[in-house]
Amino acid sequence: MKTKLRIPLLILSYIFVLALTSSCKKKSDPDPAPVTGISRTGIFSFLGTIDGAYYLAQSKQLLTGNVSFIDNGTQLEADQAARIVAAGDYLYSLDYGTGLISQLQPNQSGGYTILKEINAGLAVGTNKPRFKLADDHTLLVYNVVVVPVKDENNAVIDQTCTLRLASISIPGMNISNLTQFNIPQSENAKLGATIGYHPMRVDAPVISGNKVYFGLMHMDMFDPTTIPPLRVPKQTGLETLVFDYPSFTNGSITLTDKGSGHTGGYRAPSMHVDEIGDVYQSNWFMSANSFDLSAGDKTVITRLKNGTYDNSYDFNVSEALGLSSNIGTGGWFYAGNGIGYMPIHIEDAGDYYTANSWSVLRIDVYNKTAVKLNIPMSQLFSYENGIVYNGKFYIAISPIGGEAYVYEFDPTSSSPDAFTRGLKLDGANLALEGIY
C-alpha cells in the first residue's frame, strides 16, 4: 500500500514543481539595459547581410583594425530586406516588406536605438516601397505599378504605369506631397517591344533647384517568353522623369540619344548633383541584363540642367577607359568637385552576379576621364553606398572567396594606385552592402 501511494505522490510533487517553475519563468528575451544615443559624427556604420537577415554594426575607424558582425551589431527589421540611408545625425532604415521607415541613432553599447517610426509604405500604397535621399533634408519614397490594359477580347494592348510618391522631411520624419502620377510612355519607348517598353521602376531621385529628377527603368512588360526579372529592356535612348519642386507638378519625360538603357541605377545611385546644381547621370547598359550591345551603345554619363538633358555634354566612359571588354554599371558615388567612383562590370571577366568581375573607376565628369583602380576584382552589382569623409572616399570590397577590406580612395589623385587598404571586414558569405 505504501509503495502504491508513494509513486502518485512523487508525480504530484513533480507537477507542482513544474507548474511553479513555469508560472515564475516568463520570457527568455530580457530587454537590454537602456542605452543613450550618441552623435553619429566619427561613427561609421556598416550594413551586412547573410541568409535573409540584415545587421548594422559600428566602427570608429576606417583604416585600422577590423569590424565584425560576429556577436556584434544590431539586427534590423527586415521582412524581406533592409535598405539604409544616412543623413545628418541619423540613419534611416526601410523595412522592405512592411514599408516602415525607422530613424536610428547609434548608441553607446554599439547598437542602434529606434527614435521614430513611420509607415511610409502606407503613404504610397505598398509594403514594398523604394526610397532615397533626394537632398540633405528630404527622403523620397515611391512605388510604381504596371497594370495591363486589355481590349474586348481580353488581349493585352497596353500597360499603365502609375507612380505614387511622398516626401519625408528629415529629421522630423513628416510626410507630405502625396502624389499620384501616370508615367507617360514616350514615342521612342513604343518602338521594338511586343507592345512597347514600359516604365516599371523609378529610382535615384535628386533635387536640384526647382526640379526633382527620377531615373527610369523600361522593360518589355508583355514579353510572353521570359520571366519578368529577365525581360528585355529598352535599347534606345535615355529617359528621365522630371517634376517641378517642391510642388511635384508638371511631370514630364525628358529624353536624350546620348546613350541607351535604364537611368534609375540599381542599388547604387545613378544621379548626383554637383556643387553648382548640375545633375550627372549614369546609364545601366550591361549585356548581362539582356541589353543588346550590337548597336555600339556604351556606359555614359549625361548631364541634366533645368529639367532637361543637356545635349551639349558628352562623356562616354567606356571610350575614355579604353578597355577591350565592354563595361557596365548600376550606379556611382560622388566624392565632390566633379570626381566620382563607379563600380563597373568588366564583361570579359565573368558573370555579373556570380563572379569577381567588377572593379572601380575613378571618373572625372568635368574633364571626362576614367581610370580603373588596381584594387582586387569583386562583385559590386548589389553594392549600395560608400562615404566621403575628410576629403577621402571609402568603399568596402569583398571578393568572392577572398578577404574583405575597406578601401580609401584619394579623389585628388588620378593614379590607379591612389588607394589605401583599410579596416578588415568579415568577408566570407556575409555580404557587405554599404558604409554609412
Partner 1 sequence: MQFKMRLFQFISAFLLIINQQQIFAQDHKLTIYGTVQTNTGIPIPMTLVHIINPTSDQYTDNEGNYILSNIKIRADSITIIAYTLGYSTLEKNITINIHQDSIRIDFILKELNDTEVEIVSNQIIKKDEEGYAAISIETKKFQSQSIELNRILDQAAGVKVRQEGGLGSRSTYALNGLGGKSVRFFLDGIPMDYFGSSYSINTIPISLIDRIDIYKGVVPVELGSDALGGAINLISKKQTQNGLDLSYSYGSFNTHRASLFGNFRDSSSGFSVKLAMFYNNTKNNYTVWGNDIYTTDPNTFTVNRGQKVKRFHDAFSSQAIKADVGFSHTKFADQLYLGLLVSGMNKDIQHGTTMKVVYGKATYSQQVYMPYLTYKKTNLLVHGLDITLFSGYTFLTRSRVDTSIYIYNWDGNIEGVRTLGGEQSFTLNTLTEKVFLNRVNLSFRINNNHKLGLNIINTNVNRVNLDPLITHKTEGYWAPQLFSKQTLGLVYESKWFNNRLTTSLFSKYFSYSAGIKTSATTMGVTNYSTVHTDASGIGYGIATAYNITPYLLLSASLEKAYRLPEPDEVLGDGIMIVSTTDLKPEKSTNINLGYKLSLFQKKTNNIVITGNFFYRDVTDLIQQWQYDAGSFVYTNFNNVLMKGFDGGLKFAHKKTLSFTQTLSYLQPIIKSNTDQLGNENIVYNERLPNTPFLQMNTNVQATIRNIFQQNAKTFIYWNFNYVGSFFRFSESIGKYNKDIIPVQLIHSCGVGYTFPKDKLTLSMDLNNILNEQVFDNFAVQKPGRAVYVKCVYRLEKKNK
Chain positions 24 to 43 lying near partner 1, rule: CB under 8 A, are 25, 27-29, 32
Min CB(330)–partner 1 separation in Å: 9
Helix or strand run (H / E) with residue 432: strand 431-435
Min CB(379)–partner 1 separation in Å: 8
Residue from 177, 216, 172, 180 nearest 197 by CA:
216
Pairing mode of beta strands 339-346, 358-364? antiparallel
What are the beta bridge partners of residue 106?
A: 112
Question: Which CB sits closer to partner 1, 195 or 335?
Answer: 195
250 binds partner 1 (CB under 8 A): no
Binding residue for partner 1, selected from 47, 94, 100, 335, defined by CB under 8 A: 100
Under a CB-based contact definition with an 8 Å cutoff, are residues 387 and 45 in contact? no
Identify residues 60-89 at the interface with partner 1 (CB under 8 A). Answer: 69-76, 79
2 binds partner 1 (CB under 8 A): no
Number of residues that bind partner 1 (CB under 8 A): 83
Per-residue mark of binding to partner 1, 150-169 (x: CB under 8 A): ----x-x-----x-x-----
Here the cell at position 89 is 545625425
Question: Which CB sits closer to partner 1, 56 or 335?
Answer: 56
434 binds partner 1 (CB under 8 A): no
Min CB(430)–partner 1 separation in Å: 5
Q: Is 418 in a helix, a strand, or coil?
A: coil
382 binds partner 1 (CB under 8 A): yes
171 binds partner 1 (CB under 8 A): no
Distance separating alpha carbons of residues 166 and 212, to the nearest angstrom: 12
Question: Which CB sits closer to partner 1, 158 or 364?
Answer: 158
Per-residue mark of binding to partner 1, 301-330 (x: CB under 8 A): ------------------------------
Distance separating alpha carbons of residues 24 and 3, to the nearest angstrom: 32
Min CB(428)–partner 1 separation in Å: 4
CA 328 to chain centre: 17
Place of cell 548600376: 330
Distance separating alpha carbons of residues 315 and 365, to the nearest angstrom: 7
Half-sphere exposure for 215 (CA within 13 Å, toward CB): 33
Identify residues 195-224 at the interface with partner 1 (CB under 8 A). Answer: 221-224
Identify residues 282-301 at the interface with partner 1 (CB under 8 A). Answer: 289
Binding residue for partner 1, selected from 9, 20, 191, 230, defined by CB under 8 A: 230
Here the cell at position 7 is 509513486
Identify residues 404-433 at the interface with partner 1 (CB under 8 A). Answer: 426-430
Q: Is 14 in a helix, a strand, or coil?
A: helix
Burial of 404 (0-12, 13-18, 19+ CB in 10 A): buried
Distance separating alpha carbons of residues 191 and 324, to the nearest angstrom: 31
Angle at 213 between CA 208 and CA 215, to 5 degrees: 140
Binding residue for partner 1, selected from 127, 179, 287, 306, defined by CB under 8 A: 127
Under a CB-based contact definition with an 8 Å cutoff, are residues 255 and 236 in contact? no
Burial of 20 (0-12, 13-18, 19+ CB in 10 A): exposed
Question: Which CB sits closer to partner 1, 51 or 275?
Answer: 51
Distance separating alpha carbons of residues 105 and 115, to the nearest angstrom: 7
Question: Which CB sits closer to partner 1, 123 or 370?
Answer: 123
Binding residue for partner 1, selected from 37, 89, 110, 254, defined by CB under 8 A: 110
98 binds partner 1 (CB under 8 A): yes
Binding residue for partner 1, selected from 13, 65, 108, 147, defined by CB under 8 A: 147
117 binds partner 1 (CB under 8 A): yes
14 binds partner 1 (CB under 8 A): yes
Min CB(164)–partner 1 separation in Å: 5
